[in-house]
Amino acid sequence: PILNALPHLQAAVRLRPNDSNIRTNLGALLATEGRLEEAIGEFQRALALNPNDTSAQKYLAQAKSAFSVGASR
């Protein structure tokens, strides 16, 4: 299950903190769990490492949009 992936992705980030793909994947999983603030942080870190990461760009925009909708409720 997807929830079992979280500790593995967190461990991967600790081992390879400069890997933007791992950070993007962690952000996507956090967003799926509704942990949008954490997800946004991971997408921002991924983009700091690789500004051309189109997946991180897309996911960041989606997470920010979902966060602003949730915050306005």
Evaluate whether 66 touches 36 at the Cβ level (below 8 Å): yes
Residue-wise pLDDT for 5-26, tens only, equals 999 999 999 999 999 999 999 9
Phi-psi region of 50 (alpha: psi -120 to 50; beta: other; left: phi over 0): beta
Which pTM was predicted?
Answer: 0.88
Residue 71: band (very low, low, confident or very high) from pLDDT cuts 50, 70, 90: low
Distance, CA of 36 to CA of 62 (rounded, Å)? 10
